[in-house]
A and B are shown apart, each in its own frame.
Chain A
Amino acid sequence: MVMKPKQVTCTEHLNPGNLACAACTEVLGFRHALKVLGPNTIAINGTGCLAVVMQMGVPKVPHFHVLFENAPAVISGIDDALKAMGKRDEVNLLVVAGDGGTADIGLSALSGAIERNQDFIYICFDNESYMNTGGQRSGTTPFGARTSTTPVGRAVQGEDRLPELRKDLMAIIAAHNIPYAASTSIAYPLDFMERVRKASTVRGPSYIHCHSPCPTGWSIESSRTVEVARLAVETGAVVLYEIENGERRLTQKIKKKRKPIREYLAPQGRFRHLLDDPEAIEHLQQVVDRGFAATLASMS
């Protein structure tokens, strides 16, 4: 089930005039999440592009840019303090952070906060790189991608760690037996908003992973960010599903015949060096096929 367009409020909780690049999907995701959560929300923002572009009064809700890795710990303190003061029921506690802050430097803080059953919603905007510092690789950078720390050289071309070793954040979070987690994409806003709504009804931690292409880092035309995000789902590179109290189910229908991975890679400059290499493309197709089959097989 997704949200119906008429259920989506026209009220905005972000003021116009943020500092992001045109077509930044992190801003889009934050905007959509706040539409669902409403003004009674405290937003804790780990360092990353989103925190920096929200400067000077963009959010209309209380917004706290914390350190790179400590947002889950800060929100734990807020959750417990509000409980101690008898004020917890009144407010949604939201963390927004990037894949670097989530998969890498902040993973232990997030793990701790989930394990303690703190009551908060965590949204990770996954642009598969550290964009705020200019586009270095992260634990979620896909195999073959060019970033500033995985350049295309004569000896090595792009990210070369084994594709199987890329961090699967959904699996890591699911291993915590979290009450609610969802894999979402910026290209499916009504689905995303429905997952955020569901997350907000959970007593305890909930996690939303949002695939968020970055035009600047991925070298895609601004007008095509959402299209690229959709292609990720249509090729099976990203699968949209939710985990509710251990029950796993797909949240987006997948056509029998998925599009070939090449269609997802072609609009992205970060994969340009691979496009003339049929062997590399075939390799990536196999990686996607395996990952897709494994995710599908794990559904309840």
Chain B
Amino acid sequence: MKTEFWNGNMAAARAAQRARVQSIAAYPITPQTHTVEYLAKFVADGELHARLTKVESEHSALSACVGASSVGARTFTASCSQGIALMSEVLFFAAGLRLPIVMAVSNRTLSVPVNIWSDHQDTLVNRDTGWIQLYAASVQEVYDLVFTAFKIAENADVLLPVIVAYDGFILSHASEPIVPISQEEADAFMPPPGQGTWPILDPDNPQQFGEVLFPEWYPDFEYKKHQALVGSLGIAAQVWREFGAITGRTLTPIDTWFCEDAELLFVGIGSMMQTTRAAVLGLRARGAKVGLVNIRSFRPFPEQELRQALAGAERVVVLDRDIGYGTTGMVYPDVLRALYALPQRPIALNMIIGTGGKEITPQTIERCFELGLEASGERTVLWPDARGPEEGIPYDESIQLPPAPQPGGCALNGGAG
């Protein structure tokens, strides 16, 4: 296939098209909006034989996906931020019904303050809804993850919905060279849509869905859902190996980089791990023994793989582009759990960076590196890019607030909300 030049939203839309989705329901929200618009255009141009249900809210978007999936259709949606917050009860509902819906999420923080830029708050607060959560670090990964997500979700031993998350603007709006999979290769790899590996609403075989389950049986059901999510890690790895055999690009639950001799290891999710690679190269050139682990599958959590990768490090710095208010970032506790079983545990720090889209540059990561070497480990949660904490950036008293806009001035409208 010839190389294309696509942004993340286009990559997600094209991947869904390649997977021959049959039903799409979505509602616009920045920075996801283009995904829905692209899909609407594919349908209008006859390039994609699917129905687009143009719902009146995200709550209805995911509900319509539940309907479509419950009659056996291959189903796709996209959202972020306030949209996922509005979907919240339907997230649990879809996972409880074991419906293999795929949702692309161009991560964006939540109001207020109002902010349309990326952090991982929107998906991470929904980590316990029963969805698989995969995080892309590049536009190519957006494409590969969305495409393969259908095969993982529809596996009869999984039957769980999947979120493929990618940073808003940083990946959703930035174009990168992409190598798509051809339709012939896609069709050979992916079972045809609408074949139904899961129970469906069918008058020829009437069944009841969404029924009451009494306490005596509830734990059995929860256990099965949990086990399916845990077991999906191996199935995803298998699907990604098959995909790699065709494309030469094999995805893995985690990526390791310079872990062998590293004294300090960064751990994190999303596009900031690409920036961290660049920073690690720079630091290595100056003799620092540093490396990184990129977590691609956050749910299920690849505990053992991570433990192995982190075993030799003296210090671990978990980068969280999110905050679990009143405790730590939301990736950190899972990493701690992986470390706990090690005979010699490293000092594990948590650095909260890049919330609300604050730019993460190689310098940000270098600062995290310095702090990571200095820190005693007594204070574990640090905020290197915020104004306020001692490790943060100092207030510059000389900076004046801009004057208030005059009446009739231009507001932030037209494509920003």
Contacts and interface: CB of A to CB of B under 8 A. Distances in A.
28 contacts: A39-B203, A54-B208, A55-B208, A59-B208, A62-B201, A62-B207, A64-B209, A64-B210, A67-B89, A70-B59, A73-B64, A73-B67, A74-B63, A74-B64, A76-B67, A77-B25, A77-B53, A78-B67, A80-B64, A81-B68, A83-B51, A84-B50, A84-B51, A85-B71, A108-B60, A109-B56, A111-B56, A116-B53
A208 to B, nearest CB: 20
Given A74-B67, A77-B66, A112-B60, A67 B90 contact: yes
Contacts of B61: 73
Interface in B44-66: 49-57, 59-61, 63-66
A73 B60 contact: yes
B22 A81 contact: yes
B212 A52 contact: yes
Contacts of A108: 56-57, 60
Contacts of A62: 201-203, 206-209
B83 interface: no
Given A77-B23, A116-B53, 4 more contacts: A42-B201, A62-B206, A84-B51, A85-B73
B216 interface: no
Interface size range of chain B in the complex: 35 or more
A65 B203 CA distance: 16
Nearest to B214: A55
A67 B63 contact: yes
A91 interface: yes
Contacts of A178: none
Contact of A60 (B64, B66, B206): B206
Nearest to A54: B208
Given A41-B203, A77-B23, A82-B71, A65 B211 contact: yes
Contacts of A42: 71, 201, 203
A69 B203 CA distance: 24
Interface string B73-88: 1010000000000000
A66 B60 CA distance: 12
A108 to B, nearest CB: 6
Interface of A: 39-42, 44, 51-52, 54-57, 59-67, 69-70, 72-85, 87, 90-91, 108-109, 111-112, 115-116
B95 to A, nearest CB: 13
B56 A57 contact: no
Contact of A77 (B64, B202, B206): B64
A78 B209 CA distance: 14
Contact of B208 (A64, A72, A84, A85): A64
Nearest to A68: B89
A60 B205 CA distance: 10
A264 B47 CA distance: 60
Contacts of A41: 203
Given A67-B90, A111-B56, A78 B68 contact: yes
A87 B22 CA distance: 13
A112 B208 contact: no
